[in-house]
Chains A and B, each alone.
Chain A
Amino acid sequence: MKLFASLLIMIGTVCGALAAATAYLAPLSLEDDRLIGLTLDAPAGQTPSEGAPERDPLTPASSQALGSPSRTPIAGKGAELTSELLIELRAAGVERVRVTEFSFGRWPGKWAFLGSAAALLVGAMMLRSGAKAAPAAQGESPAQGGAEALDHAERMLDALRQRLELPGGPDLHAITDVLGEVQAGPIAAFIADRPALIAKIGLAGYARVMDRFAAFERSVNRGWSAATDGATDEAMACVERAPVLLAEAKQALAG
C-alpha cells in the first residue's frame, strides 16, 4: 500500500504541476468574446516566412537559429487580442496563446489539476493510515530500540562515573572518549528510532520525550566541550547532570 500511495503522490505531483503550468493558456478554440481583450504574456504564432533558414551570422542563435525556421512571431508579448488578430492566429494554425489574465473557466488544465489534487489527497491519506497501522501490525513495542539506546547510555555514564571516582583525580581524556562514544552510539541510535517513537507515542508525546532527551544530549555535548577545553569542574558537573536528565527522558518515554 505504501508503494501505491507513494506512486499516487508522485503522479499527482507531476500531473498537478503540469496542469498548473497551463493556468495562463487560452485555447483559441474558445468563442471570440471570451478571448478578445486579453493581453498576450508571450509571443504568439509565427510569421508566414516559416521555414526560411536564418543566414545572418551576426544574429545570435538565441533569437534565430541557423537552419531553423524563422521565429518571428505574429504578435508579441503585451499585444491585446482582437478579432483580427484571432483570425490571423487561427489561420496560422495556432491552437493556444499565453495570456496575463487567469480565468478558471478558460483554464484548460483545471480538471487535470483537480484530479491530481485528489490523487495527492488520497495518496497522503493512505500513507498516514499506513503509518498508523504499521506499529499494530508489528505486534511488539516499536520503540524498543529507542528505550534500549537510553539504557545503553545510562550504563556507559554509570561506568564513566565509577571510573572518575577512582583515585588519581578526574581523567579528562576518559570523559572526552566516553561522552564521544555516547554521542556516536546510543544518542545516534535513539534519534534513528524517531519514526517508531512517533508511531507509538504520537508527536506530542515524542515532543515531551525529546524535550528532556535534548537537555540530556546538550549536557553530554557540553561535557565533551568542557573536557576538551580542560574545564574539569564544568566537565564533571555535566557528567553528574547527564544521568539525571537521562532519567527524566526515560520517565517521559515510559509515559
Chain B
Amino acid sequence: MAEPGKPAPRYREVTISSIMFGLVVGAIMNAAITYAGLKIGFTIVGSAIAAVLGFGVLRGLLRRGSILEVNIGQTIASAVNTPNSGVIFTVPVLLLLGFTLDVGSADFWLVTMACVAGAVLGGAFIVPLRKQMIDIERLRFPSATAVGAILKSPGAGSAKAIVLVVGILVGVLIAMPAQLPGISTNAAVDDLDTLVESGRISRADKLLTEQIDGWVEAGAAPESVMTHGRLLLDRDAAILAGENHDELDTEITIAAVSGYAEVRNAAAAHATDAARLKSYPDDLARLVAGAVTGEGDWEALRSKEAGWAQDPLLGYADLGWRMPAETMEGEASADFAYDGLGDADDPVLTERVDRDRDGRPDLILTDSAFNAGRLFGLPDEMELLFAIAPFALGAGYLTGRAGLFVLAGGVLAYVVINPVMHNMGWTPPTLADHQVPGWGYGNVNRPLGVGLLLGGAMMGVIASLPAIREAIRAIASSGASKVGGGGRDELGLRVLLVAAMGGVIALAVAADVVGNEPINTTCPVTEAQVDRSVTTSHNGYTVAFASDDAKQTFEAAAPEQQQNFAATINADKGGWLSGLDPHLRAILIALVGTGWIWFAGIIIAQCTGMTDWSPISGMALLTVVLVMLLGGSGAVLSAVLLGAALCVAITCAADMMADLKTGYIVGAVPKRQQVVELVFTGIGPLITMSVLVLIAASNEAKFGVPIGPGTDTVAPQAQALEAIITGVQGGDMRYAMYGFGAAIGALLGLGAFSGLGVLVGLSMYLPMLYISTYGIGCVVQMIVSKVKGAAWAESWGVPLAAGLIVGDALLSLGVNLWVLVAG
C-alpha cells in the first residue's frame, strides 16, 4: 500500500521504457528478418523472442519491468516486426517482374502507403472481434498462450519456472539435430569419401570438389571454364552499363556447354558419377576468370557459391536410419551406385527402398522428418511423415482435443483422397506412386483446403453473428467496465472507424494512382524499353510504348493484330470492371479489396487462434486472383499492391489478436495494447520497404539484377507468388475446386461446431508432416488430461509446451542469424 500522504505508485504498463524497448527490438528484428526472409524464406512473428528479451532487458538490465510492461514491449516489438512477412511475400514480385522500386520513385511510396494502410486496416478491423474470439469463443492462440506462460513465469512458482526452462531446453535439444545441419563449412578434401558414405554429399559433388581442388593447387583451370567465366563477367558489366547483351547470352550458352563437357570429361574414369554431374555453378566460372586475370584469388574457389562440397553439422540423418534393403530378384545386375554399370556384386535395390537411385536404401529419418509411412510399409501413395518440430508438438498440446480435427483433415487428404485418386486412375498415368502425395497436395488438397477455409470461415461468421452483435454492442456501450483503472477497456468504435476510413482512403488513393499507370515495361510493338509518357488505353489498361511511332503502329493495326501485340504484355483480356472509368474502377477494386481484407483477417485470426497456423499464401493467392479478375490479368501492379496490403493486414490482424490473447492472460487493458499496436504498426512496412530497396540497390550493383535467382536474396516466397501470377495469366487456376471446397466447408460449419470447416480446410492446406506432429501434441494433451486430470494438464503442461515453442523459435532464430552472418 502507498504510504499516507504519498500518491500510490502507478502499476507500470505503457511506459517510455516499454515503448522504446518495443521499437528498438521490433525494428532490429524487422530489418534482420526481412533480409533473412528474402535470403532463405525464413520469417518469424517474434512475440516469444521479444518476451524473452523483454525479461532480459526490462527486468534484468533496467530492473524495473512489470509483467504488463514486458507485455506492452513485446506487443510493440511484434507490431513493428510482423508486417515484414506480408511485404516480403508480395512486393519483391514487382522486382522479379521487371518493375523498379527506389526511394525516389512514386511507386515505392504508393506501395509503402498501401502496406501501412493494410497494417492499420488489419488492426482496426480485427479489434471489434476481440470479444468474440477471445472472451466468447475463447480461441487458444497457442503461441500467445506460450508467451503468456513466459510472462507469468516469475510468479508462477519456481517449480513451474523450472518446467518452462526444461521445456525450452527440451525444445532446443529436439530441434538441434534438425536445424544445425543448416550450418555448414567447406568440406575437407580428405573427408569427401566419408561425406559421400553418410549421404551428405553426392558422388558428383565429390568429383567437382576434387577438380576445383586440383585447379586451386595448380593455379590453373580448363580454358573453356575460364572463357565461360569471362563472358559472364562481361555480361555483368553490360547489365550494369545498361547495354544490350543478347549476343553475349548466346556466347555464354555455348561456353557453358563446352565448359561443362570439359569438366565432365575430366572425370571420365567414373562414368556414372560424371554423368550425374549435370552442371557447375556460374559463380565457379566467374571466380576462375577472376583468378586467372589476377583480379581474384584462387582460394576463393573453395566456397559454397563455387560448388565446393559442404560439410554440415551433425544432424538426425547422420544416425543413418535407413529403409531395410530390398533387392530386385531375377533382374539383370545393374549398379545404380557409383562405380560403373553391371557390377554383379552389387544387388539392385527396388525403387520402393531407393527412390533417388543412389544405390543405398533411403533414409527413414532425415534431419527434418521421420517417415513412419515408409517404415511401416504403407503404400507409397500414402504419406505419413512426422516433422521434427517441437513448436508443432507444443502447439498441438496447447490446442488439445480440438486439434484432432486438424489431424483428421490431414488423414482425409493424405491417407484417403490421394491414394483413392491414384488407384481410381484419376492422377496422371506418368506419376510414380511416391509422387502422388506431392501431386495431390498441389493440385487437389491445397485448392480444396483453401476453399474449405473460405466456406468454413463464412459459415463461422454467420453462426457467430449473435455473439459478434453482442460483442460490438458491448464495445459501443463500453464505459461501464473499469478494469485496469483506465476507463473503457476497449477502443471505441468511433476511433476504429476513423482508423479504418483512413486506411481505406490511403488504399484507394494508392490503387487509383497505381491502377492507372502503364502496366508494361517493354513495348508491345518493338519490345524495347517503354517511354512511360507515350501511352494509350487498351482493354481498360494503360499501355506504354517505346516511341510515338510504335504507338501509331499499334493504333493503326487491325483489332486482331492489336490483340496479338497486347498478348505480349498480358493486355489482351480485360477484367470484369474494364468498361468502367479508370478512377472509378480503381476505387471499386480498393473497396472490394478492403472488404476482402476484413474477411481474410477473420479467417487468419481464427486459424491462428485455433491452431497457430495461418494460411497467408492461400489468402494472398486469392487476393491476386480477385484483383486480376476485376482489373484484368495485366493489372499486376494493382494486384501486387492490394496483395501486399492484404498480406500485411492479415498478418497484423493475427498478431493483434495473439497479443490481445497474451494480454488477456496477464490481465492487460486491451485498449492500451490496441492503441500502441495501431500507433506503431505503420513503422513496420516502412522499415521493411527501406531494407528491401537497399538490398535491391546493392544487388543491382553487385549482380545486375535487383532480387531473385542469381543474387544472394533469392526471395523464395515472392517467386512462389510470381508463379501464381503467371499461372493466373496463363489460365492455370482451378476455380471450381475452390468453389466445391467452399461448399463443403460451409456445410461442415453448419453443424454443432462452426469452426470445423476452417480446421479441416487448414489441415488439407498444410503439408502432412507438420499436421501429424501437431496431432501427437493433441493426443498427448488428451492422454495427460485423462490420466492426471484437466487441471494438472493445464497447470504443468502449458509451461512445458510453451517451452517447446520458445526453444524451437530461439534456436531457429540463432541458426538463421548464424547462417546470415557467416554467409
Contact = CB atoms under 8 A, between A and B. Distances in A.
Interface string A59-94: 011100111100111000000000000000000001
A67 B448 contact: no
A65 B432 contact: yes
Contact of B11 (A61, A218, A233): A233
A98 B336 contact: no
Contacts of A61: 351, 354-357, 432
A102 interface: yes
B8 interface: yes
Interface of A: 5, 9, 12-14, 16-25, 42-46, 53, 55, 57-58, 60-62, 65-68, 71-73, 94-96, 98, 100, 102, 113, 116-117, 120-121, 123-125, 127-128, 130-131, 169-170, 176, 180, 184-185, 188, 191-192, 194, 202-204, 206-208, 210-211, 213-215, 217-229, 231-234, 236-238, 241, 245
Given A61-B357, A67-B350, A229-B67, 10 more contacts: A16-B740, A21-B426, A66-B350, A72-B430, A117-B744, A123-B751, A214-B664, A215-B483, A218-B483, A233-B1
Contacts of B275: 58
B748 interface: yes
Interface of A is mostly: helix
22 contacts: A13-B748, A16-B747, A17-B413, A62-B435, A66-B334, A66-B348, A100-B731, A120-B747, A127-B751, A128-B751, A180-B156, A203-B467, A204-B469, A207-B132, A207-B471, A214-B136, A218-B483, A221-B666, A224-B155, A225-B66, A231-B12, A234-B11
Contacts of B416: 14, 17-18
For the complex of A and B, 6 pairs with smallest distance between CB atoms: A222-B667, A228-B155, A221-B667, A214-B135, A207-B470, A234-B11
Nearest to B732: A100
Nearest to B409: A13
B630 interface: no
Contacts of A13: 412, 744, 748, 760
Nearest to A229: B66
A219 B428 CA distance: 60
Given A24-B736, A44-B428, A60-B356, A211 B794 contact: no
A226 B11 contact: yes
Contact of A66 (B357, B760, B791): B357
B294 interface: no
A21 B351 contact: no
Nearest to A176: B155
Interface residues of B, number: 94
Contacts of A188: 790-791, 794
Contacts of B379: none
Interface in B128-181: 131-132, 134-136, 138, 151-152, 154-156
A172 B794 CA distance: 24
Given A68-B432, A184-B794, A207-B132, A228 B67 contact: yes
B155 A225 contact: yes
Contacts of B8: 233
A78 to B, nearest CB: 9
B66 A222 contact: no
Interface of B: 1-2, 8-9, 11-12, 66-68, 131-132, 134-136, 138, 151-152, 154-156, 272, 275-276, 328, 331, 334-336, 341, 348, 350-351, 354-357, 412-413, 416-417, 420-421, 425-432, 435, 443-444, 448, 463-464, 466-467, 469-471, 474, 481-485, 489, 664-668, 731-732, 734-737, 740-741, 743-744, 747-748, 750-752, 760, 764, 790-791, 794-795
A68 B764 CA distance: 30
A203 B474 CA distance: 15
Given A65-B432, A66-B357, A225-B155, A215 B481 contact: yes
Contacts of B334: 55, 57, 66
Contact of B664 (A65, A102, A176, A218): A218
B1 A236 contact: yes
Contact of B744 (A16, A213, A236): A16
A67 B750 contact: no
Nearest to A212: B481
Contacts of B471: 207, 211
Nearest to B138: A191
Contact of A211 (B2, B272, B470, B665): B470
Contacts of A207: 131-132, 136, 466-467, 469-471
A9 B751 contact: yes
Contacts of B790: 188, 192
Nearest to B132: A207
Contacts of B470: 204, 207-208, 211
Nearest to B338: A57
Given A61-B356, A204-B466, A18 B136 contact: no
A176 B160 CA distance: 14
A71 B434 CA distance: 14
Contacts of B481: 215, 245
Contacts of B135: 210-211, 213-214
Contacts of A176: 155
B423 to A, nearest CB: 11
Contacts of A17: 412-413, 416-417, 448, 744, 764
A118 B670 CA distance: 43
Given A188-B794, A211-B471, A228-B155, A203 B448 contact: no
A20 B331 contact: no
B387 to A, nearest CB: 22
Contacts of A65: 351, 432
A102 B341 contact: no
B417 A21 contact: yes
Question: Which one of B416, B483, B664 has the highest number of Cβ atoms from chain A below 10 Å of its Cβ?
Answer: B483
Contacts of A19: 740
B483 A245 contact: yes
A67 B351 CA distance: 8
Contacts of A224: 152, 155, 667
Contacts of A211: 131, 135-136, 470-471, 474
Nearest to B468: A207
A20 B336 CA distance: 41
A53 B670 CA distance: 67
A228 to B, nearest CB: 3
Contacts of B740: 16, 19-20, 23, 113
A6 to B, nearest CB: 9
Given A57-B357, A73-B428, A20 B448 contact: yes
A96 B421 CA distance: 13
Contact of A221 (B336, B357, B420, B664): B664
Contact of A57 (B272, B484, B732, B794): B272
A215 B744 contact: no
Contacts of B132: 207
B667 A223 contact: yes
A180 B667 CA distance: 13
Contacts of B341: 57
A95 B11 CA distance: 74
A71 B429 CA distance: 7
Contacts of B427: 42
B1 A66 contact: no
Give the most central of A14, A21, A71: most B CB within 10 Å. A21
A67 B334 CA distance: 11
Contacts of B431: 71
A120 B448 contact: no
Contacts of A184: 791, 794-795
A184 B789 CA distance: 12
B356 A20 contact: no
A58 B751 CA distance: 54
Nearest to A194: B138
Nearest to B670: A218
B471 to A, nearest CB: 6
A231 B489 CA distance: 20
Point out which of A44, A61, A241 has the most chain B C-beta atoms below 10 A from its C-beta.
A61
A67 to B, nearest CB: 6
